[in-house]
Chains A and B, each alone.
Chain A
Amino acid sequence: MKIHEYQAKEIFAKYGVPIPPGRVARTPEEVKTIAQEVGKPVVVKAQVHVGGRGKAGGIKVGNTPEEARSHAEKILGMDIKGLIVHEVLVEEAADIKEEYYLGITTDRAARRNIVMVSAAGGIDIEEVAATDPEKIARLHIDPAIGLQDFQIRQLAFEARLPAAAVRGIGPFLKALSKVYADYDCSLAEINPLVLTGAGTLIAADAKINIDDNALFRHPDLAQYQEAQEDDPIEAEAHKRGLTYVRLDGDIGIIGNGAGLVMTTLDVVQREGGRPANFLDIGGGAKAEVVTKAIDTVLLDKNVKGIFFNIFGGITRGDEVAKGMLEAIGTMDITVPIVVRLTGTRAAEGLQLLEGSALTPAATMQEGAQKIVSLVNAA
């Protein structure tokens, strides 16, 4: 789960990390009021779950409350990479002398969390990582002992931070690793960590992603939960508990298991078709999940046919067939549906489907060929 910058800053503030004074606003008038309270130039920052906000024009400095208000008018309602801005963070604009990067994320190859520090922080850190990877100091955290002081010193010196920052960075990294562990993060970043003209350090931006599997032990984060998908069908599918990804073709794909569904996309494409989506009904799906899956795929008006590819293990073929029949019986389905059903209770399932309008296929490849020719003939 992603949370907004202002929410991440609320969490960091609880751990003693200095952040610029300010707060979140939903209207230009509120922005002006906050700017007046701050009494100094402010930065107005779009709060959307996507990177590159600044480059998209979603972050502006207002030197006066009136200027802040006028920026907010443009930023609120703005479309950034498909996401509409509903909130802006208004806070004192930091007096930036230098910008550093601090981050922790999961390194699955090492099966540990990795800490990264760079003196070249700011909006181009991803470019730095690609072109000058040696400018980013990194080390892994041993899950048995956590981040140690010597590691913090090592990171600070290896990143070639100036002397003032080497001393000051400790509390920031400690807070970052504590937040990371306490909130089950998959990513926690302070970027930039700003060294101000006055020689103090302040977290000018913050980012936190939470491991979805761990949300059960963070009921306090429920207030931050909101639709994360920019695509309306993906959002609806998520609400229905389905794993759905929208693609740009015209053949709806439904199957069980991520690997099998991905392979089905590959095979359909190989046969000359264009998949409209990825939909994994998961393991052990009941009939109503199958019905919901068909309905979801058909929300995409580009869909001209559906290919069902089920290899029953924990999923039962007769349950899948019942769900399909329910869908045909209750929905007005005008597109062809090809069904490949094998594995657990497949014979029972196929028997149920006999006499229905569905086109059976014995193998994945045969099914792909059939749906492609049916869609092309339509």
Chain B
Amino acid sequence: MSGGIWRNENSMSILINKQTKLLVQGVTGREGEFHTRAMLDYGTNVVAGVTPGKGGQLIEHGDETVPVFNTVKEAVEMTGADTTVIFVPPPFGADAIFEAVDAGINGIVCITEGIPIQDMMKCYRFLREQDGWMIGPNCPGLITPGECKIGIMPGDIFSPGEIGIVSRSGTLTYEIVDELTRAGLGQSTCVGIGGDPIIGSSFVDCLQWFEADAATRAVVLSGEIGGNDEEKAAEFIQTMSKPVVGFIAGKTAPPGKRMGHAGAIVSGSAGTAQAKIEALQDAGAHVAELPNQVPDLIRQALSRN
């Protein structure tokens, strides 16, 4: 989304923080309720949930109570929610996104996996003309450690700090975060942008936000084979003042084979791991060969900067 970027002046992070008032769409579903509770445990300020037909119910969790509404409009009017996380089934994904924007929600995190690509094209076209931002779909969400977790990632591996992370893959991000945390390198914000062909925010969007964020000193970019988002990111990295450390998954994946993510497919020479690694290196980024090399490369980059 190229519209206005919401950033709280007091924030030590990008996009989300302690002040974020979160709404959960699909809150009474199995995943929605489970992760609502996990987000509350983490300390996320979950102010409302929406499930059509279940308005008036309450989700009680310890000392906290999350009211359920029938529509996003009502939830926003009653609670002032400014950000939403979407857990609805894929056929209703685009509709949930449109409903959130229509109700004035500024930040959207869409976890749902399997939304048809034509639906996402229409969403992206619409969102481009709005103020605000969207992460996903088919993503693990994002987290500002110690302040706010929106999504499905395991909160306990993160620690607050100065390293920004942007990644296309969920569990690979956990791997890298775990290495960073154990090396004593905390994170400002970690964003899982999602593995679908059409996503709300690209690597470049997130790199722009990290570049502008006072609390972020260096960025880790974790990409994978397929598409050209990493190559576009490399172009932007050339203009950045902050150091970037990259990692690319799929170095040994054979061409023409689809590896799970719709994005992770290589055809011809475009989108290969080697092409992406070279693009990042040419842009001045340091590329790790293994996830466990990321902390050392970050340290080296920070000492040079």
Contact = CB atoms under 8 A, between A and B. Distances in A.
Interface in A228-258: 243, 245, 247, 255-258
Contacts of A314: 152
Interface string A262-285: 110111011000010010100110
Interface in B152-169: 152-154, 157, 167-169
Given A258-B261, A261-B259, A275 B252 contact: yes
B194 to A, nearest CB: 11
Interface stretch (B59-67, B73-81, B95-103, B288-296): B288-296
B164 to A, nearest CB: 18
Given A143-B122, A265-B253, A259 B117 contact: no
Contacts of A258: 169, 195, 224, 259-261, 264
Contact of B253 (A144, A256, A262, A283): A262
Determine the main DSSP class of A at the interface with B: mixed
Given A258-B264, A280-B260, A342 B171 contact: no
**Tier of interface size on chain A:** 35 or more
Interface string A153-197: 000000000000000000000000000010010100000000000
Interface in B254-282: 254, 257-261, 263-264
B222 interface: yes
Interface stretch (B172-180, B212-220, B233-241): B172-180
Tell me which of A181, A261, A263, A344 has the highest count of chain B C-beta atoms within 10 A of its own C-beta.
A263
Given A213-B90, A261-B260, A255 B125 contact: no
Tell me which of B125, B225, B228, B253 has the highest count of chain A C-beta atoms within 10 A of its own C-beta.
B253
Interface of A: 106, 108-109, 111-113, 142-144, 181, 184, 186, 211, 213-214, 216-217, 243, 245, 247, 255-263, 265-267, 269-270, 275, 278, 280, 283-284, 311-314, 342-344, 363-365
Interface of B: 31, 90-91, 114-119, 121-122, 124-126, 140, 152-154, 157, 167-175, 178, 195, 197-198, 222, 224-225, 227-229, 232, 249-254, 257-261, 263-264, 289-292
